[in-house]
Amino acid sequence: MTDTSTFGDAFFADAYAQHSAQPDEHGHFGRYGGRFMPEALMAALAELTEAYQKSKNDPTFQAEFTHLLRTYANRPSLLTDAKRLSRAAFEKGCGARILLKREDLNHTGSHKINNVLGQALLTKRMGKRRVIAETGAGQHGVATATAAALLDLECVVYMGEEDTQRQALNVARMRMLGAEVIPVAIGSRTLKDAINEAIRDWVTNVDHTHYLLGTVAGPHPFPAMVRDFVRVIGAEAREQVMTLTGALPDAVAACVGGGSNAIGAFHAFVPDASVRLYGFEAGGSGVETGLHAASITGGEIGVLHGARTYLLQDEYGQTMPSHSISAGLDYPAVGPEHAWLHDTGRAVYEAVTDDEAMQAFKLLCRTEGVIPAIESAHAVAGALRIAPKLRAELGREPVILVNLSGRGDKDMHTAAAYFGFSGMEA
Amino acid sequence: MDTTTVSKLSAVLAAAKAENRAALVGYLPAGFPTVEGSLDACRAMIEGGVDIVEVGLPYSDPQMDGPVIQRAVEHALEAGTNTVDVLRAVEGVAATGAPTLVMTYWNPIERYGVDRFAKQFADAGGAGLITPDLIPEEAEPWLSASDAHGLDRVFLVAQSSTDERLALTTRACRGFVYAASLMGVTGTRTAVNSQAAHLVERTRAATGLPVCVGLGVSNAAQAAEVARFADGVIVGSAFVRRLLDAPDPGSGLAAVRELAEQLAEGVRARNL
């Protein structure tokens, strides 16, 4: 890649070119990524790659995308100085300054809308009239159904049967928006099986259908393309933190399932050597119990859904079921760029358990009046964990940027069940 | 590998051609209904007239398979079928003398160790691998291992493949080329896709290798139709369906044998 432009130049006046050499032309981030997909999809992947590369240098496309982000998705999203959270979380004088990047305030309630608007515009450019998507918690499905309604595209969303029951509200939202939701009743009946079913649909209907993948996983060009559509998160936050504090943050924290919000938050900071990048994976009941979704912390290298990356698998390469209280992190693999950032040491990945995430969830509700998605609560918990360590290293109060990737309305059933009503009153 | 040696697979395809017919390739997954049961079913296919056997390696995420094979594979995995069982099944099938391929998604092979699998598979008498989610650009370890252990390698081509990709993919193939008859996943269809013959023609322009056609072929009439333009006819879901629908193992084997007999007539009826 030789171009130095990016989506919405007005937004992103940063050092994109310095680290845009990844992936290579075949979609490899070091040893990760690539294209492990049926030959039948190679033409569509090539077409998509071409459309995506062209759009990067196309002022009309960028203007259209930026316009939608500003006038429809509610960008730029706010930066909130979470002073009460910091005071409550730490003994006096031992704290951190925690800044929240408020992706929860986007239209549809999460960072997913950024990628979805970008890909939906590309779908129109490719002359396709139908989009399909997978969804776990339903956030990506709702965002896709929203963009499809706005841009007049037919929309089918695949969702594991188990998830359609856990996230009934989001199923209703998607149907209200005009999408067809198809429950997937094979395999583990969760996100990974919804992806399999979406791939089967795609290979059958590829001539008029775009697979609007919701994260930085899958075959090339998805990991790079989705990253470029969500990197607005970090690009905005970088400017906002500089304006607020006069300096770069000391660390950026984000939750990692497939990893799209984390890549979005990290990417603009990758060239800033002083900024530590922390990805917090879903530790479930604890990585040592085997009941988790921490692919980097507790998985091994393999191939799933089109890319080589870290994944949860048994000794024969069968995908292992993942476990997390957060449906959006409940995925047994991770985007290949995260695998690469981990191996190069540029980013650090740790697991946060269900319990740690839920404590942080409650604390953020009570101190800031912000109900986060349980996914995002993993990032808050992680930030609270690393603060004392950073403080010791730096000899001063660290500034930690936390990507609050989504809002928690969808999680009220789960939270009420977790805390019990007495817990909610405590 | 001595590249002048004709592999057993190539010999069987050549013999079918000499008889002015297409070869019949039958697929069944290992471990369904049991490892032993799948071995019996493969033998029944061969008794019925299948020339080449594809043993499916059960995988948790079979993206190219429709509901019939998904169900059988899910059952096999729940029963604990693993890669070692697959190698055992290969040994049993290969002992019949029929060329025995394994159809597998890539991760189980990578996880087992590409060279380790290739060696044990060759020792078991296996002929080669069909790899539906592996393209030659990502296949370097398998290209080396298959050379080192004298194994055939079958990549897929599709209607959407450009001429450039047909050339690239067929160059990497050995044994035969697998032409997917339609854009879609495995499963029976009511009619053979009209574009299948065109894809075979385009593939022949790129390679001298035999071209076998799979996806959607389920009965003698369809086999005969495909046999008119292809070197081999690949049937999978229809065999699996016979086992799924059978009230007991014995009648399942009988149904598989009967289907194989019908299809074997079909691949010989190309000139009718």
With cut-offs at 50, 70 and 90, classify the pLDDT of residue A89.
confident
Average pLDDT over residues A341-348: 97
pLDDT of residue B192: 85
CA atoms of B89 and B41, how far apart (whole Å): 11
CA atoms of B22 and B138, how far apart (whole Å): 31
Mean pLDDT value across chain A = 93
In tens, the pLDDT along A4-28 reads 344 444 344 343 444 556 899 999 9
Other CB atoms within a 10 A radius of the CB of residue A319 amount to: 23
Q: Does A425 touch chain B (CB under 8 A)?
A: no
A322 neighbors A308 (Cβ within 8 angstroms): no
Q: Does A183 touch chain B (CB under 8 A)?
A: no
pLDDT of residue A4: 38
A419 neighbors A362 (Cβ within 8 angstroms): yes
Pick from A37, A184, A303 the residue to mutate for testing the B interface (most B CBs within 10 Å): A303
Cα angle for residues A292, A393, A343 (degrees, 5° grid): 45
Q: What's the token pair of residue A43? A: 């033409």
Q: Which of A77, A116, A145, A147 is nearest to A215 (CA)?
A: A116
Please, what's the b/e burial string for A202-225 (b: 16 or more CB within 10 A of its CB; e: otherwise)? Answer: bbebbeebbbbbbbbbbbbbbbbb
Pairing of strands A209-211, A399-404: unpaired
Asked whether residue A404 carries a pLDDT value surpassing 50, the answer given is yes
Cα B195 to chain centroid distance, Å, stands at: 21
Cα B114 to chain centroid distance, Å, stands at: 19
Q: Which of A259, A389, A264, A413 is nearest to A335 (CA)?
A: A259
How far is A43 from chain B, CA to nearest CA, in Å? 6
Residue of A nearest to B106 (CA): A303
Residue among B66, B108, B155 whose CB faces A316 most closely: B108
Average pLDDT over residues A31-39: 97
Residue of A nearest to B84 (CA): A316
A175 neighbors A135 (Cβ within 8 angstroms): no
A332 neighbors A323 (Cβ within 8 angstroms): no
Largest Cα separation within chain A, whole Å, is 61
Q: Cβ–Cβ of A303/B106 closer than 8 Å?
A: yes
Q: Which of B272, B266, B241, B271 is nearest to B50 (CA)?
A: B266
Whether the predicted model's global pTM rises above the 0.90 cut:
yes
Q: Cβ–Cβ of B61/A187 closer than 8 Å?
A: yes
pLDDT of residue A188: 83
In tens, the pLDDT along B106-117 reads 999 999 999 999
Contacts of A364 (CB under 8 A, 6+ apart): A82, A85, A370, A371, A372, A377, A380
Contacts of B5 (CB under 8 A, 6+ apart): B150
Q: Does A124 touch chain B (CB under 8 A)?
A: no
Check if A389 is active-site.
no
In tens, the pLDDT along B237-269 reads 999 999 999 999 999 999 999 999 999 999 999
Burial of A26 (0-12, 13-18, 19+ CB in 10 A): exposed
Average pLDDT over residues B181-191: 88
Q: Phi and psi of A55, rounded to 5°?
A: -65, -30
With cut-offs at 50, 70 and 90, classify the pLDDT of residue A88.
confident
pLDDT of residue A21: 65
In tens, the pLDDT along A161-198 reads 988 987 888 999 999 999 999 999 988 888 999 999 99
Cα angle for residues A129, A130, A132 (degrees, 5° grid): 160
Q: Cβ–Cβ of A36/B138 closer than 8 Å?
A: yes
With residue A390 as reference, give the H or E element that holds it: helix A374-394
Q: What's the token pair of residue A337? A: 């760029």
The ipTM (two decimal places) reads 0.95
With cut-offs at 50, 70 and 90, classify the pLDDT of residue A421.
low
Average pLDDT over residues A19-40: 90
Q: Phi and psi of B215, rounded to 5°?
A: 90, 110
Q: Cβ–Cβ of B185/A203 closer than 8 Å?
A: yes
Pairing of strands B23-29, B52-56: parallel
Q: Is the dihedral of CA A327, A323, A383, A298 positive or negative?
A: negative
Q: Does A178 touch chain B (CB under 8 A)?
A: no
Q: Cβ–Cβ of A316/B183 closer than 8 Å?
A: no
Q: Cβ–Cβ of B156/A40 closer than 8 Å?
A: yes
Residue among A204, A303, A316 whose CB faces B184 most closely: A204
Task: Identify whether B33 is preceded by a cis peptide bond (ω within 30 of 0).
Answer: yes
Q: What's the token pair of residue A156? A: 């089918």
Average pLDDT over residues A87-110: 89
How far is B160 from chain A, CA to nearest CA, in Å? 6
pLDDT of residue A38: 96
pLDDT of residue A10: 36
Residue of B nearest to A316 (CA): B108
pLDDT of residue A33: 98
Q: Which residues of B are catalytic?
A: 54, 65
Q: Helices B67-78 and B237-245 sit at what angle, rounded to 10 degrees?
A: 60
Q: What percent of chain A has pLDDT over 70?
A: 93
Q: Which of A225, A279, A228, A231 is nearest to A257 (CA)?
A: A279
Check if A405 is active-site.
yes
In single-letter form, the type of residue at position B161 comes to S
Q: Cβ–Cβ of B155/A192 closer than 8 Å?
A: no
What 8-state DSSP symbol labels residue B42?
Answer: H
Residue of B nearest to A40 (CA): B158
Q: Does A23 touch chain B (CB under 8 A)?
A: no
Count A/B contacts: CB-CB distance under 8 Å: 113
Average pLDDT over residues A236-244: 98
Q: Does A40 touch chain B (CB under 8 A)?
A: yes
Catalytic annotation, pick one of A55, A64, A77, A112: A112
With cut-offs at 50, 70 and 90, classify the pLDDT of residue B49.
very high
